[in-house]
Structure 1
């Protein structure tokens, strides 16, 4: 696992915590204080994961080209002389893929199938009845949000 994988995992886990809290609030509506308390706990968890991202931001991973800035393509002359060296290719760690997938799934549950983490503002969430129908009911939704990667 690379240092940039740790950054990605922490970033996606923070976002999944925020989305899980919003989903719980959206389904519960007004008047359920225990749901608001759970959402506040998830926000605190997201903040802690975000702070972890900031701490791991200082980690330099020289073998991971995802952490390098984009460079302009080499000149024709350098290519012709064979002086161009390609950076090694690495793939994200499976834990980073799992964390990203969890964010996408919770976000799509809350905002609809069109939602992606990197995009425009999501707008209003889906109606609670649709969220519960897709999740399989209140108990199944609570269980799914509880089992998100990275702890609850």
Structure 2
């Protein structure tokens, strides 16, 4: 079993009683940094990150899973991180989204709905000589190269 698989098991064990929390990604980088990204349907607090960090760190040390020194970092994905899971889309309904498609198009709009296979955004479409209209667009998840929440400072 590799390090990432073991860490996944440990995190799942720690958050088993918290159905609102979920793993976004776990990566052990070549610079010996173990990066655990966890999120929650209503966000995740520093206390939860600390508990996960302590649990994972304790077990990795006990089992001597990683033989050399390493850095362990547990956090929520930053707002600048792309959305990767259907659950992340669901928690961002109502926010503005920027989507880059696999065809190379960039689309922006308010996220209206999301499920396992599609996201629905409301985007402004302006045809020449006409007033801009709000149009619902359904984008298949498998056609999304990258999706990020747009931050508004208004």
Q: Please give the TM-score of this superposition, normalised by the length of structure 2.
A: 0.26
* Higher share of residues assigned strand: 2
Greater RCO, 1 or 2 (C-alpha within 8 Å, sep 6+) = 1
* Higher share of residues assigned helix: 1
Q: Please give the TM-score of this superposition, normalised by the length of structure 1.
A: 0.27
